[in-house]
Amino acid sequence: MCSVDLRLKILGQLPFFQELPATALAEINHIFRENGFESGETICLAGDRAEQLFVVADGRVKLLRHSLAGKDILLDLLSLGEFFGSLSMGKDDVYPDTAQAQTNVCILTIGREAFHQILKQYPPIAVSVIGIMASRLQAANERVQQLSVLPVEGRIASILLMLSRKFGKPHTVGRLIQVPLSRDDLAAFTGTTSETASRVMSQFQKDGLIQSGRQWVAVTDQKRLEELFFKSEG
């Protein structure tokens, strides 16, 4: 369970609530509910009717998209303060992605109708939501394009750079990413096989681009990793 102070901090960091006064944020906090999920448990399924907006209050969540080939593509890892689910006004909209708990998680949820009432009460939030939806659509399209045109080395370099920006912390071994990331996860992120992901990661380590251990990866040469990514893009 989250304290009131933590809930207010998390909600206040959401891009569409950032400009709200403290009194409005306190009122909105009372509308959100808390739900807990264990590691591996499904939070919502792609194709189900989109009835809720979810905010990660603790732990990490995988966002998965089912490809036409029948594989799950890992789109993103979400952590504290990130959100997923329904922001749309459409009554018949469905969740585009499946959300699965990577760790034990605490999720703040709000129903679609309740969220729409907030949009009506605070019109600037609706404008912010439109911008967020456009940005997310662009990011998803870029990920699909990367999977279709980049060689596997470029795709894995891209994911490592993204995880480094999002979760990396300065460390003596490099920029340390202490996120459980199995070869299966990396394969799902990049649309390849676990064997290929392992081979590329081993080569990256041999070339001095990364170091890795049990449940951690460190980017040791970010410049060369970026050069590899941009070279594969060009």
Tens of pLDDT along the chain (234 residues) come to 678 898 999 999 998 898 889 999 999 999 999 999 999 999 999 999 989 999 999 999 999 987 666 677 888 899 999 999 877 666 778 888 899 999 999 999 999 889 889 988 888 888 888 788 778 777 777 777 777 788 999 999 999 999 999 999 999 988 999 888 888 889 998 888 999 999 999 999 999 999 988 888 999 999 999 998 887 766
Task: At 226, give phi and psi (nearest 5°).
Answer: -65, -40
* Predicted pLDDT at 68: 63
For residue 112, give the DSSP letter: H
Rounded alpha-carbon distances, angstroms, from residue 85 to 29, 36, 180: 18, 16, 23
Coil, strand, or helix at residue 1? coil
* Predicted pLDDT at 1: 67
Rounded alpha-carbon distances, angstroms, from residue 183 to 88, 143, 232: 34, 19, 21
In whole angstroms, give the CA distance from residue 65 to residue 193. Answer: 16
* Predicted pLDDT at 141: 73
Q: Contact 170/178 with Cβ under 8 angstroms? A: no
* Predicted pLDDT at 159: 92
CA 36 to chain centre: 18
* Predicted pLDDT at 234: 62
In whole angstroms, give the CA distance from residue 167 to residue 160. Answer: 10
Strand intervals (E) in the chain = 33-37, 42-44, 52-58, 61-66, 72-78, 83-85, 98-101, 105-111, 169-171, 174-177, 210-213, 216-219
Q: Which string of DSSP letters, residue by residue, matches 70-97?
A: SPEEEEEEE-TT-EEE-----TT-B-SS
